[in-house]
Amino acid sequence: MCPREALSPAGSLAQEVSHMRTFFTAIALAATLASGSTPAQSTAPAPKPAYSVTDTDIGALLDDPAARAIVDKYIPGFSAGDQVDMARSMTLSSIQQFAPDRITDEALAGIDAEFAKLPAKK
């Protein structure tokens, strides 16, 4: 009598299912390796910049010496302007329409790029 006949029908079926699972798992692994893809790796999202020209109030920028220096670098004299206190609750992007020759898209992009280098606020 062969070993297969010695097993009960239920045992035989369970063994076959186990072998099939192993077989299909091996096929899936081989296909993944052959395609050159790797399993998904979890990556932490990039930290959110401390400031943004679209989201941060001008008042918060003026109150931080590092942020104020960046703004003044791209928009010279901004923090010393006569009307800057009236704009403390607005964003740089929102006031661009009032001075498009001084607050250019390029200036805002440069400011945002430097804001991204600042350490995040706790």
**Nearest alpha carbon to residue 103 among 90, 120, 116:** 90
Please report the pLDDT score of residue 43 as a whole number: 73
Please tell me the pTM assigned to this model: 0.62
Please report the pLDDT score of residue 112 as a whole number: 97
The Cα 88–Cα 61 span in angstroms is 9
- For every one of its 122 residues, what pLDDT tens digit does the chain have, with 9 covering 90 and above? 555 555 555 566 666 656 666 655 656 556 656 656 555 565 767 677 889 999 999 999 999 999 999 999 999 999 999 889 999 999 999 999 999 999 999 999 999 999 999 987 76
All residues at 6 or more sequence positions from 47 whose CB lies less than 8 Å from its CB, including other chains: 120
Q: Which residue has the tokens 């299909």?
A: 24
The Cα 7–Cα 15 span in angstroms is 10
